[in-house]
Chain A
Amino acid sequence: MYRILEKKVLNPTVISITVDAPHAARHAKAGQFIILRVDEDGERVPFTIAAADPEKGTVTIIYQVVGATTRKLMELEEGDELADFAGPLGKPSEIEGENVVVIGGGVGCAIALPTAKAFHDAGKNVTTIVGFRNKDLVILEDEFRDVSDTYYLMSDDGTAGEKGLVTAKLEELIKSGQKIDKVIAIGPLVMMKSVCLLTRKYDIPTVVSMNPIMIDGTGMCGGCRLVVDGKMQFACVDGPDFDGHKVDFDAAISRNRAYMDKERHNYEETCNLLNKKEEA
C-alpha cells in the first residue's frame, strides 16, 4: 500500500498528492509517469510525475477530476492509502536545446512543470507559455516563474494574464524573432496538435507528451499505440514524448474516445454513490 503524505487542492478540480513510493521515486525523471490503482477493484490509470524526491522516497502527481477513478481519488485524504503505485514508466524527456519554449495547457501544466524545471536546472534558457480557460483554473504560477526565464500566462477569457490561446503567444514570439531551438507542448491533444501545425510552418522542432489510454504501461498490450511517422509506437515504452510533427493526432484523438460511454456511466454511478454516502 502507498500512503498519501500530502494533499493540496490547486483549484476546484485539480489536486496535488504526494505519495510514499520509494521504488518509484528512486529513478523518476521529468517526462516519466506512474500507474496507480486507487483500490483493489480499481482500474489502472497513468499519471505523469509532477515531482519526485528520491531521498524522501516520495512522488507527487497532479490530477484533474474527469471521471470515476479521479473522483474516487479526490475522496482520499492525507494518511489514506492507494492500492498500487508503479513506476517510473516511460522514457525520460530529452533535455536538449539551448533556447526552449515549454507550453502547458490546463492540467497539462502539471506535466510541463517538471520538464521546464529540468531544462532550467540544466542551465537552458526557458520560456514558458501556460494557458487556462479562466483565472479560477490557474495552477502552479509561482512554481513556473521560479523555473522560467520568461513566463507568459494566457486565459481564454482574459481573466488571468493575457487573453488568447497559447498558440497566439507562441506565434507572436516567433514573429518577434525570438530564437527558439525547440518547443515542448504538453496538454490536451487538440492543443498539442495546433501547436504542431504552427511550428511546422516555421520548421521549429517540437516535442509533445502523448496521453493515450493505457493499461499496464510496460509495453505488454499496445493499448497505448500511436501512429508516429507512419509506424506503430507504444507510448508507454517508446514515449510518452514524441516528435510532434510526426504524430497522427487525429488517430490519437479518436482512440482516446474508445470508452467514452462506459466512462460517463461509471462517473455518474460513482458520483451518485459518493453523494448518497454524504447524505447518509
Chain B
Amino acid sequence: MPNMRMDKNPMPTQPAEERIHNVDEVAQGYTAEMAIDEAKRCLSCKHKPCISGCPVNIHIPEFIAKVAEGNFEEAYEIISLTSSLPAICGRVCPQESQCESKCVRGIKGEPVAIGRLERFVADYMREKGEAPLKAPQRNGHKAAVIGAGPAGLTAAGDLAKLGYEVTVFEALHTPGGVLMYGIPEFRLPKAIVQHEIQKLRDLGVEIVTNYVVGRSGTIEELMNDGYEAIFVGSGAGLPNFMNMEGEELKGVYSANEFLTRFNLMKAYKEGSATPIQHPTKTVVVGGGNVAMDAARCARRLGSEVHIVYRRSLEELPARKEEVEHAMEEGIIFDLLNNPVKVHGDENGNVNAVECIQMELGEPDESGRRRPIAKEGSNFMIDADCMIMAIGTSPNPLIRSTTEGLETNRKGCLIVNEDEMTTKDGVFAGGDAVTGAATVISAMGAGKKAAAAMDRYIQKNR
C-alpha cells in the first residue's frame, strides 16, 4: 500500500542562526528511514509523467521503487543508467519546475520528493564507498570536450561509456565549471563535485586543466590532433554590468568574481591566499539564483545584505527554496528598486548605491510585467560593497578564434536539432548555446550531444 500522506517528508536543515556562521551544507539530507517512507508515497504510475519532466530522463518510478524496498544499490544503478552526476542534480535541480512538476501526487498535495531521494541514493553510495567504475572497452575513436562544466562533464561521461577516448579541456585549474566557482559550498559541497568528477576519470576520461581553447590551442588544431568530434560546453561566463557611473569603484564586484573568490579560491577561509572584502553592508543587484548565492555568501562574511531587484517578489526568477533560505538568513529584499549610480569616497571605495523606485507596467515579450522607473523617486542605500548579479553572456573567445562557428545576436552558438554547430563535427550545448540557464538543462544538452556525436563518428568512420 502506498503511503498516502499529502506532504513531502521535510528536509532536515541547519538552523539559520547557526548556518550564517559557517559554509557547511544547509540541507542535510534524508536518513534511510525518511527516504524509504518518502519513496512509499510514489504511486508507480503506468504513464510515468515525472520522467518526461527530467532533462536526462532518469527512470524515476523504478529507482524510487528500489528505495522503498530499501535496496539503495539497485536504485543507484537505475539512476546511473541515464545520469552521471546524481549527487549534484539531486541538490541543485529546480525539481519544482521539472520532474516534480509532473508528479501525480502533486495534484492534490505535494509531489514526491524525487530530488531528495536521488540525492539520498547518491550520498548513500558515496558514503558507503562504492566500487570505482571500470573503464569500458575502447572503440578506437577520439572525442574532445571543451569546458568541464555540467554540459561537458555529462557529454564526456556518456562518450566514455560508449567506448570513446575522451579528453576534456578546461581553462581553470579545477574542473567543474559553475559547480566549483559559482554554486556555494553550503548548497553544493565541493568535495562531492570532485567525487563525481573522479568517477568520470575512473571511466577513462582525461581532463586537461589550464588549457584555454582559443589561446592555448584552437578547435582547428584539436581536429588535426585526431579528435573526430568536438563538444563545446564553454558556458556563459561573461558577466554583465549595467554601464552606470561608479561601477569601477572598489567594492563593486560581478557575482562571478565574488563567487569565484569565495567558492573556487576559498577566500572565506582564515589565512586564504586569495583575498576578499569582508563587507559590513552589501547591495546585491538581481533576483536570480546567482543573486541569492552571492547574497548568502556575503551574509556568511558577516555582512548585512540587501537584495535590490527591479520587479516584485512574484517575478523573482530564483528558486522559491533559495529565496526562503535567504529570507531565513536575514537577507533584506528591497523589491521594485533599481540602482542608477554608485557613489564612492575620496579613496575610491563604494559608500552608497543610489536607487530609483520602480512600478510594474504591462507584460513584456518575456511575459513578465515591465518595470518602469518612477521619476524623482531616487534614494540612497549606504553600502561598502555591491555585487552585480544581473546575468552573464557567452564568452567570445572560442567563437572569435574558430572559423565557421556562427552565433546569434546574443553571442550564443547556433546548433541544429542534433546539437551540431555550423561547423562540421563541432557540437555544442549548455549555456554556450542557450545563454545562462540551469545545470540540469546543460546536462541534458550534453547527453543529447554525446549521442549525436556517437552517430556522427560512427557514420563517418
Are the CB atoms of A219 and B395 closer together than 8 Å? yes
Contact with A along B245-273 (1 / 0, CB 8 A): 00110110110110011000100000111
B260 touches A215 (CB 8 A): yes
Tell me if B216 and A23 are in contact (CB < 8 A).
yes
Q: Say whether A41 contacts B273, CB under 8 Å.
A: yes
Known: A23-B216, A222-B254. A255 touches B275 (CB 8 A): no
List of A residues within 8 angstroms of B456 by Cβ: none
Contact B260 A220 (CB under 8 A): yes
B172, B211, B251, B272: the one contacting A216 at CB < 8 Å is B172
Q: Let me know if B335 is at the binding interface, CB within 8 A.
A: no
Stretch from B32-40, B65-73, B125-133, B233-241 at the A interface? B233-241
Residue contact A222 to B257, C-beta cutoff 8 Å: yes
Q: Is A280 an interface residue (CB 8 A)?
A: no
Q: What is the CA–CA distance of A278 and B290 in the complex, to the nearest angstrom?
A: 45
Given known A-B contacts A219-B397, A223-B257, A43 and B274 have beta carbons under 8 A apart: yes
Chain B hits for A227, CB < 8 A: 248
Give the interface residue-count category, chain B. Answer: 35 or more
User: Are the C-beta atoms of B395 and A220 separated by less than 8 Å?
Assistant: yes
Instruction: Tell whether, in the assembled complex, residue A84 and residue B216 are in contact, meaning their CB atoms are under 8 Å apart.
Output: no
Interface residues on chain A, number (Cβ under 8 Å):
44
B250 x A258 contact (CB < 8 A): yes
- Asked whether B347 is an interface residue with its Cβ less than 8 Å from the other chain, the reply is yes
CB contact list, B249-305 vs A, under 8 A: 250-251, 253-254, 256-257, 260-261, 265, 271-275, 277
With A84-B210, A216-B260, A266-B273: A232-B241 Cβ-Cβ less than 8 Å: yes
| Among B210, B238, B274, B277, contact of A85 (Cβ-Cβ < 8 Å) | B210
Is A269 engaged at the interface, CB distance under 8 Å to the other chain? yes
Judge if B408 is at the interface, Cβ distance under 8 Å: no
Interface residues of A in 213-259 (CB under 8 A from B): 215-216, 218-223, 225-227, 231-232, 237, 248, 251, 254-255, 257-259
Report A-chain residues with C-beta under 8 Å of the C-beta of B261.
215
Known A218-B171, A251-B248; judge A84-B211 contact (CB<8 A). Answer: no
Assembled-state Cα–Cα distance A23/B211 (Å): 7
What is the bound-complex CA distance between A257 and B275, given in angstroms?
12
Total A-B contacts with CB atoms under 8 angstroms apart:
119
Within B185-223, which residues are at the interface with A (CB < 8 Å)? Answer: 208-212, 215-217
B209, B217, B257, B395: most-surrounded residue (chain A CB, <10 A): B257
Is B173 at the interface (CB under 8 A from chain A)?
yes
User: Which residue of chain A is the closest to B388 with respect to CB atoms?
Assistant: A222
Interface assignment of A81: CB less than 8 Å from any CB of chain B: no
Please determine whether B212 and A221 come into contact, CB atoms closer than 8 angstroms: no
In the assembled complex, the Cα of A5 lies from the Cα of B454 at a distance in Å of 42
Contact B172 A255 (CB under 8 A): no
On whether the beta carbons of A218 and B260 are closer than 8 Å, the reply is: no
Q: Is the CB of A27 within 8 A of B173?
A: no
Give CA–CA (A258, B267) in the complex, Å.
Answer: 15
Residue of A nearest to B208 (CB): A23
> Is A218 in contact with B274, judged by CB distance below 8 angstroms?
no
- Give Cα A248–Cα B260 distance, bound, in whole angstroms: 26
CB pairs A–B below 8 angstroms (21 shown) = A27-B217, A41-B272, A84-B173, A84-B210, A86-B173, A215-B261, A215-B265, A215-B274, A220-B238, A220-B260, A221-B256, A223-B253, A223-B254, A226-B248, A227-B248, A254-B250, A254-B348, A255-B248, A258-B277, A266-B273, A266-B275
**Sample of 11 further A-B pairs with CB below 8 A, known A86-B216, A219-B397, A257-B250:** A27-B217, A42-B273, A44-B173, A44-B274, A68-B273, A84-B209, A89-B212, A215-B261, A220-B239, A232-B248, A254-B348
Give residues in B with beta carbon < 8 Å to A.
171-173, 181, 208-212, 215-217, 237-239, 241, 243, 247-248, 250-251, 253-254, 256-257, 260-261, 265, 271-275, 277, 347-348, 395-397
Q: Which 4 A-B pairs have the closest CB atoms?
A: A254-B348, A221-B257, A86-B210, A220-B237
Report which A residues bind B (CB closer than 8 A): 23-24, 26-27, 32, 37, 41-44, 68-69, 83-89, 215-216, 218-223, 225-227, 231-232, 237, 248, 251, 254-255, 257-259, 262-263, 266, 269
